[in-house]
Every structure is written in structure tokens, then in C-alpha cells.
Amino acid sequence: MIRKDGDVESYTEASSPTPPGQESVSPLDMVSQAVEEMADNIEQAFTTEDDEHKHSNR
């Protein structure tokens, strides 16, 4: 929360301010993308051609 004391802005929370234009970006966005990529890589590493054939026939 920003508190204005005259011409000085101070932050009342122990955090850094969000830069303008970055309000819709979460700090976890990059982590989420990395986890998704790792999960895809693990799935690909443990999927065999036979597994892929079984799943495509559903």
C-alpha cells in the first residue's frame, strides 16, 4: 500500500512496487512455464511409441 506524506511516497508493506505495465504479470509465471516444460519432457522421456499408438486409437 502506498502512503503519501506530502510529496514523498512510502511503501507500507515489505515489498517492492510493481512497475507500470507489469500489473498482469505474476512472479510465478516463469516458474509455471518451467514446470510445464519439465513435465512435458518427463512425459516424452517415458512415453514409448506403443503408448502413443494406444492413446491415438481412443
Does the pLDDT at position 4 exceed 60?
no
Please give the model's pTM, rounded to 2 decimal places: 0.45
Summarised one tens digit per residue, pLDDT across range 27-51 is 788 898 899 999 999 999 998 777 6
CA 45, 46, 47, 48 torsion-angle sign = positive
Per-residue confidence (pLDDT) for residue 56, from 0 to 100: 61
Domain ranges of the chain: 26-58
Per-residue confidence (pLDDT) for residue 17, from 0 to 100: 74
Per-residue confidence (pLDDT) for residue 41, from 0 to 100: 95
Q: CA 52, CA 13: separation in Å to the nearest integer?
A: 51
Does the pLDDT at position 57 exceed 90?
no
- Cell, residue 8: 514523498
Q: CA 58, CA 15: separation in Å to the nearest integer?
A: 50
Per-residue confidence (pLDDT) for residue 38, from 0 to 100: 96
